Amino acid sequence: MPWLVMAALLGLALLSAALTWAARVYALRRQLLDQPGERRSHSVATPRGGGIAIVISLLVAAAVAACVWPDAAVSLAVASLGLALVAGIGWWDDHRPLPAMRRLLVHFLAAALLAGLVKMHGGSWLLSLLVLFFTASLINIWNFMDGINGIASSQAVIVALGFAMVLPWPYSLVAIVLGLACLGFLPFNFPQARIFMGDVGSGALGYAVAVVLAVAAVHTDINWILLLLPLSAFLVDAGFTLLARMLSGQRWMEPHTQHVYQRAVQAGASHPQVTGMYFVLGLFSITVFNICTNLQPRWEAAVAVAWFAALTLLWLLLRNGLRHR
């Protein structure tokens, strides 16, 4: 990798860190604070909105990439517009809470933009529909899972690392840039949280992860089910918790503390311990992912199904065990 590219990538991480510091100053000045409560996992009022640093860093990287690769400018602009839409509605919600349906409409609009890009770049209608579904889902999953210090950004780093190793150059830069933007934010949020990501960051981060997933779906031959492995820790915890809430008649969009990671904190584990456990699980998932990417498609799918079945069993065991503590 040329030294100029390495320097630019280091600069991106530093930019993210500087913007996070600035976001904290802004949040303190505006009294933009998350207060402790029954449905929260922190005990002191903490500034929020630091995820805007990740968003701006990604938009700057996209602008630079458009200058370096003019043929990709339109695609980068469309993806950036989707990111800005999700971040914008999240920023608004951080300052003045919005109805859930209004947020979801914006999320689906952004997801439709990304699905359209997939179709434009040769993806099938089925793949485009899958991208639409998973993009809208990931925006909300990252929001649901952003409940303890460092968990949302560290899992995005795991996803970025997993895909950076399988994507061809220069598409791997999409994953690398995401990981570095998160690394710039992470020291302000882990192990002690000096600022939270906020909806502006968590939703946008889910969208950015979806962009990396979509790029991998279009530019690799990896079975789409196997492509979900780097995201599996969040998909299983968020997906099955959501399903359990729906089946029990609860309002799934309301804040709650029923995810396994939240129950672990309630049971006495510290934020760093739980985030660390999810990080280790993520490392296992991307290891399995990278080992299996050269298998025949049917075996890639079989491995993925087996992995998700194992994680589902683990989720059930942990959920039931933590319920009785």
H-helix or E-strand spanning residue 47: strand 46-47
Is residue 199 annotated as involved in ligand binding? yes
* pLDDT of res. 119: 95
* pLDDT of res. 193: 87
Specify the 3-state DSSP secondary structure of 286: helix
Give me the helices (H) in 193-296, please: 198-219, 232-247, 260-266, 271-292
Specify the 3-state DSSP secondary structure of 162: helix
- Per DSSP, what are the bridge partners of residue 33? 47
**Residue at 56: amino acid letter:** I
- The angle at the Cα of 128, spanning 123 to 132, to the nearest 5 degrees, equals 150
* pLDDT of res. 258: 82
Upstream peptide bond of 170 is cis (omega within 30 degrees of 0): yes
CB proximity list for 216: less than 8 A, separation 6 or greater: 163, 166, 167, 222, 227
Residue 33 DSSP label = E
How much is the CA Rg of the chain, to the nearest whole Å?
19
pLDDT in tens, 35-70: 775 555 666 778 999 999 999 999 999 999 999 999
* pLDDT of res. 266: 86
pLDDT in tens, 221-276: 999 999 999 999 999 999 988 888 877 777 766 777 788 898 888 888 999 999 99
Instruction: Map tokens 């649901």 to a residue.
Output: 144
**Which of 199, 129, 153 lies closest to 16, judged by CA?**
153
* pLDDT of res. 252: 65
pLDDT in tens, 162-204: 999 999 999 999 999 999 999 999 999 998 989 999 999 999 9
Q: 110 with 139: CB under 8 angstroms?
A: yes
Of 127-136, 198-207, 242-251, 279-288, the one with minimum mean pLDDT is 242-251
Q: How far apart are CA 5 and CA 183, in angstroms?
A: 17
* pLDDT of res. 46: 86
Asked if the model's pLDDT at residue 7 lies above 90, the reply is no
pLDDT-based confidence at 81, cuts 50/70/90?
very high
* pLDDT of res. 38: 52
Asked if the model's pLDDT at residue 1 lies above 60, the reply is no
The ranges assigned to domains in the chain are 3-323
pLDDT, the chain, mean: 91
CA distances from 181 to 13, 96, 143, 249, 262 (A): 5, 26, 17, 38, 25
Q: How far apart are CA 73 and CA 258, in angstroms?
A: 42
Q: How far apart are CA 59 and CA 57, in angstroms?
A: 5
Q: How far apart are CA 285 and CA 290, in angstroms?
A: 9
Three-state secondary structure along 250-276? CCCCCCCCCCHHHHHHHCCCCHHHHHH
Give me the helices (H) in the chain, please: 3-30, 52-68, 73-95, 100-120, 125-145, 151-164, 172-185, 198-219, 232-247, 260-266, 271-292, 297-323
Is residue 143 annotated as involved in ligand binding? yes
* pLDDT of res. 123: 87
- Per DSSP, what are the bridge partners of residue 47? 33
Question: How many CB atoms neighbour CB 154 within 10 A?
Answer: 19
Percentage of the chain with pLDDT > 70? 95
* pLDDT of res. 40: 59
* pLDDT of res. 324: 46
Q: 160 with 131: CB under 8 angstroms?
A: no
